[in-house]
Structures are given as structure tokens and as C-alpha cells.
Amino acid sequence: MSELQQKFELAHQWLHEAESVLLASGAGMSAAAGIDYGDKRWFAENFTPMLQYGISTCAEILGGMGLPPLLQWGYLSHQLDLVRFGEIDHPVYRLQFEALAERDHFIFASNVDALYERHGFEPSRIYTPQGDYARMQCVKPCSDETWNTRTYLEQIRERTDPRTWQLQDESRLPRCPNCGGPMFMNVRAAHWFLEAPYLPQRERLISWLDAAASRKLLTIEIGAGFNTPGVIRWPVEQITSQHADAKMIRVNPNNAKIPRSLLERSLSMVCGGQEFVAAVFAR
């Protein structure tokens, strides 16, 4: 049995023994389900018209940044329709749900695609500090209000050229219903991000962690690297260190290193999220 397989066995044992499970995930979790912003093949298959502009991955134009507004929103109307609102039923999420649905758990995810909720997890047990593509906000912002993204996307798609993905009607650009200013998705893209919609989620997580202090807590972190370590990676380390009976499993093909202070009660899994979930949850 290889070292990795031995770790899979121990990880499964820890999962079985845990009384509460904090499942924390970063971009690597969405990539495991096929939503990989750095994948050129995936981009070419799903965003073919954008190739004519010399763009080869979603990562090059996160949020359509750097594109002229008419092209930006023409592109986003397709990207969000696929990533946030498209039909998806992936084993990597389904297996997690099947393993945790009847157990005390909480989801802590940096991804804004709502894949956990879309695979059956209860929204009240999910905290997404980076926001949600399904909401729109004013970028001033002039208020704490948010609006349904899908409504705006439908209006944009109606007037987008299918060959160029350019929006043909400037009046369809998303404008704040209150002040008329520009809008963007309610995600942590800049200083104007409205965090208010997610504060109740954060309070529920804090309360859940307080209750878990007297239980055997297992934190499982999947696919959270160093692009934004302050969102998932470092908080998970802090949570684990503050709970005397907590253990941590870190899953990452490139950045699975464990802090020295947590070595004795942590597992470093150098593998992808899909491989880990299949080996540990699918039992």
C-alpha cells in the first residue's frame, strides 16, 4: 500500500470518528467538478467566440475585467449561465453530500458558483465569504441592496451577437435601479463588495464552531492555495488550532504543506480534490 493510500485510509478513519465536520473548499474544488478557469480546452469548448480576441482561459479575464463593457457583459451572460445557473450533477459534490447529509457539518467555501447548494447542501449550513454570482450590486455602492443576476443576463442574451458575443444594445448594460450607476456581481472583486448578505451565514458558522468546541471536530480543506490564503486556508488553520480535539486534512496537489504547530493532528494530502473525495467519501 502506497503512502497516499495509507493516508486515504487514515483520512477515512478520521471522518468516521468525527462528531462534527467543517468542509472548507477553494477553487480546486470547482476545478474538480470541471469548472477550471485555467483550463484552455474547457474554455475553447464552452467560450469559442472569445478565442477570436486572443483569449484562451477564463482566468485571463476574471469577471470580464479588461474587456470593453459591451463584450464584457456579452461574455459574462454566457459564462455565468454555464458556471452559476447551468445544469450540473457531479460525483465529486454528490459524494460529499451523501457522506455528510446526515452528520453534523458546515460548508465554508470561497467559490461563488453555489455548487454545494446546487448539490443538495442546506443553504443555512453554507458560508461563502466571497459572495455569489446569483446576486448583482451597485459598484458605488449606493445601498446595501442586491438584485437577481439572472434577470439581467436574460436581457443581455437577447441582444448579444452570437458570433462576436458583443452586446448590441448599450441600454441593456446592467444599471443600478436606485442610482443608475454601473453594476457587477455581488462578489469580492474590489473594495465596493457588499458583505451584508453573507453576515448571517458567518454568524451561523461562528455559532456552529462554538458548539463544536466540545466535540471531535474534523476540518477538511480541499483546493485552497495561496492566491487568497486569508479567505479559507489561514482561517481553517486557526479554527483547527483553537479547538483542542480538532484534526485537519489539507488536500492540495501543489500546496498541501501543514504548519509545524499542527503536524501532530493533521494530514497533508498531495492529490486533487476528485481523487481524495472518491477515496475517502465514497464508502
Residue span of the structural domain in which 179 resides:
36-87+132-194
Shared-domain flag, residues 45 and 159: yes
Length of the chain equals 283
Shared-domain flag, residues 161 and 25: no
Q: Which residues are 160's β-sheet partners?
A: 167
Shared-domain flag, residues 149 and 276: no
Instruction: Give Cα separations from 167 to 50, 76, 177, 208 (angstroms).
Output: 13, 10, 20, 45
Instruction: Give Cα separations from 7 to 68, 159, 168 (angstroms).
Output: 49, 53, 55
Of 169, 194, 219, which closes a domain? Answer: 194
Of 147, 168, 194, which closes a domain? Answer: 194
Shared-domain flag, residues 171 and 272: no
Dihedrals phi, psi of 229, to nearest 5 degrees: -65, -25
Strand duo 105-109 + 147-148: pairing: unpaired
Instruction: Return the H-helix or E-strand segment holding 248.
Output: strand 247-251
Note down pLDDT in tens along the chain; length 283 residues: 799 999 999 999 999 999 999 999 999 999 999 999 999 999 999 999 999 999 999 999 999 989 999 999 999 999 999 999 998 899 999 999 999 999 999 999 999 999 999 999 999 999 999 999 999 999 999 999 999 999 999 999 999 999 999 999 999 999 999 999 999 999 999 999 999 999 999 999 999 999 999 999 999 999 998 988 999 999 999 999 999 889 999 999 999 999 999 999 999 999 999 999 999 998 6
